[in-house]
Amino acid sequence: MVEPAPAFPQPDAPEAPPAHGATVAHIVERLRGDILARRLSPGARLVESDLTMRFAVSRGPVREALRRLAAEGLIEHAPHRGALVRRLSPREIQELFQIRVELESLGARLAAQADDTDLRARFVDAIRPIFDDSQRNACEYLAENAAFHDAILTLAGNRQLRDLAMRLQLPLIMAQVGEVLTPKVLEASVREHRAIAAAICERDPRAAEAALRAHLERAAAMAIATPED
């Protein structure tokens, strides 16, 4: 009784269930959204019976959804103890950033070397938002940031790399460190994005990699400097 009821987003909204065969996917999406939007805070328990009621499905799909989220790294799962929303320690964040730097450096290099005219055109199109000069709030920035990094990896042309980067708890990290995103920080990030984009458009792999490394290393330093949530 230490907790005043988990306070779920929608206690029992009708939740129009999707077509047959998409039940699990639906649950996964909902829960992922709740976790990344911090409607479910890190460390929160995910009890199967609660979820069966919330989504009006049986335990089977719920369990599968939890497994998938565990595979994505969004939740932790201990035998007989249930699932918890994952909480990243500063050390884990630091380690993940260290990996991300290498992965995205490779991506930037490959993107700068990409030859496909069509792909490059789509890249330019996808990153258009970063040239918008209006102020962004944290949420807008997170979306723009995700799209920008994804655009680079798409242009890079290494599908495995793109998949891997997406599955690397990057959203989780960003959600957890989202609080330090002051307007000044956001502005600096956007400027760095533009520098990276410029290097890629000019087909300068070294500059692109360097700019991306600088960008991520600054971000990592900031993220680690957030000991408490």
Contacts of 215 (CB under 8 A, 6+ apart): 189, 192, 193, 195, 196
Tell me how far, at minimum, the Cβ of 144 lies from its own copies, in Å.
25
Nearest to DNA of 48, 150 (CB atom): 48
Residue type, 120: R
Residue type, 58: S
> Is 87 one of the binding residues for its own copies (CB under 8 A)?
no
Distance of CA 108 to the CA centre of its chain: 18
Nearest to its own copies of 70, 124 (CB atom): 70
Return the residue of 103, 173, 190, 219 that touches its own copies, per CB under 8 A: 103
In this chain, which stretch among 29-37, 40-48, 68-76, 86-94 interacts with DNA, using CB under 7 A?
40-48
The one of DNA, its own copies, none whose footprint includes residue 102, by CB under 5 to 8 A per kind, is: its own copies
> Is 56 one of the binding residues for DNA (CB under 7 A)?
yes
Alpha helices in 22-58 (DSSP H): 23-36, 48-55
Tell me how far, at minimum, the Cβ of 61 lies from DNA, in Å.
4
> Is 166 one of the binding residues for its own copies (CB under 8 A)?
no
Rounded Cα gap, residues 123 and 60, in angstroms? 41
Residue 20 has, within 13 A of its CA and on its CB side, a CA count of 0
